[in-house]
Structure 1
Amino acid sequence: MSGLTVPVSTMDHIQGSLDEPVVLVEYADFQCPSCGEAFSLVKRLQQRFGEGLCLVFRHFPLVQAHPQALPAAITAEYAAAQGRFWDAHDALFRNQQQLGEVVYRELMRELGLPEEGLAAAMDDSSNLLRIQRDIESGMGSGVTGTPSFFINGELFQPRQSFEELYDAIVQAGAKRS
């Protein structure tokens, strides 16, 4: 079983508290269809487990297969700098089929963020470094595709579907109780 080589820290995008019984780390690509499917599952898991589940998102854009994955990740990072990462995260997944400059600009308007800043963010090396750091941490942890999940630091590998996350989270929570 592979483990998370870079521990979760305040540098990550975190929803919930790291003190929760289960910390779910997701490596994902905003344009990946499987990640889009996992998005709705993760939302259901968050509703089901509430404060018992902490979600951590790390970028893993598969740029060869998904040309909008990196611009979408940069858009999310720009929103993060304004304290709106999770709003952007959700909107990017909901609009996955239309990702592109029009969607990114529309998202900035919806979030009340300056559109001009987004253009500058696309050229800002700090955003690329942040995303590259996530990619490297994923590769070091054995991530080969998206979405990839780690439950309390251990790689979760479903046998048939990501729906198995539910049982794995229940088991992980029981171990920490």
Structure 2
Amino acid sequence: MSQTSDGDGLLMPISEHEHIQGTMDASVVLVKYGDYQCLSCGEVHRMIQEIQQQIQLRFVFRHFPRTHIHFQAQRAAEAAEAAAAQNKFWQMHNLLFENQYALNDGHLLEYANNIQLDIDQFLRDMTDHVHAERVNQNIQGGIQSGVSSTPALFVNGVRYRDAWDTERLLAAIIYQRLRQRPS
């Protein structure tokens, strides 16, 4: 029997196999379920980068391609995973968000070349959908936690539901950080 959330709590625990930025001892963990073709996800990507310059946090990215409206999102997620297999997830991740309007196979190949991936391996991974299962696991974990659209953020396991605004997200992160301090 699968557990599902009311949408306010993160049910899929973070593992060492995740895509993580930041230190293990950060008092705030920000988890984002995102879709590379979702324009709001791109805006939130830039917000998170800005916040990371201001405050120490642990950031986890999970895929949630909404393929029924973003036809290139699944392939982009698989490209990010193919880059991850070559230890270049974050480089590909950033390129995909910087180029949201150009995510067809030719562009994905161009980005792989730009970050100096082994192109033969990248093409094999993409052709054989080697990383599709990992993307699907992220989707299933998101669904269990009540995610139905993107972007979806969780701050220390609690769903962020305020405006997509840097100041408000930063305030939520600071609030969670203050709650974590011992009295």
Q: TM (normalized to structure 2)?
A: 0.91
Match of 1:101 among 78, 94, 105: 105
| Greater fraction of residues in helix | 1
* Whole-angstrom distance in 1 between the partners of 2:138 and 2:165: 22
Structure 2: stretches of 5+ with no match in the other structure: 1-6
1:125 Cα deviation (Å)?
A: 4.7
- Residue in structure 2 matched with residue 34 of structure 1 by the alignment: 40
1:30 Cα deviation (Å)?
A: 0.3
* Whole-angstrom distance in 2 between the partners of 1:114 and 1:32: 28
Corresponding position: 1:8 with 2:8: no
Q: State the SS of the aligned residue for 1:98.
A: coil
Pairwise CA RMSD: 1.3
CA deviation map 1:60-100 (0-9, x unaligned): 00001001101100110000001100000001000111111
1:126 Cα deviation (Å)?
A: 4.1
Corresponding position: 1:124 with 2:128: yes
2:63–2:138: 8 Å Cα contact kept in structure 1?
yes
CA deviation map 1:96-148 (0-9, x unaligned): 11111222111111111122222211243541110010000000001010000
After superposition, residues 158-173 of structure 1 pair within 5 angstroms as: 158=162, 160-163=163-166, 164-173=168-177
2:30–2:153: 8 Å Cα contact kept in structure 1?
yes
* Whole-angstrom distance in 2 between the partners of 1:90 and 1:161: 19
* Whole-angstrom distance in 1 between the partners of 2:128 and 2:12: 24
1:45 Cα deviation (Å)?
A: 0.7
Aligned residues: 174
- Paired letter, 1:161: W
Q: Identity of counterpart residues, as a percentage?
A: 39
Corresponding position: 1:156 with 2:160: yes
Q: TM (normalized to structure 1)?
A: 0.93
Corresponding position: 1:137 with 2:155: no
Q: State the SS of the aligned residue for 1:58.
A: strand
| Greater shift in the superposed pair: 107-116 or 22-31 | 107-116
2:78–2:129: 8 Å Cα contact kept in structure 1?
no
- Residue in structure 1 matched with residue 3 of structure 2 by the alignment: none
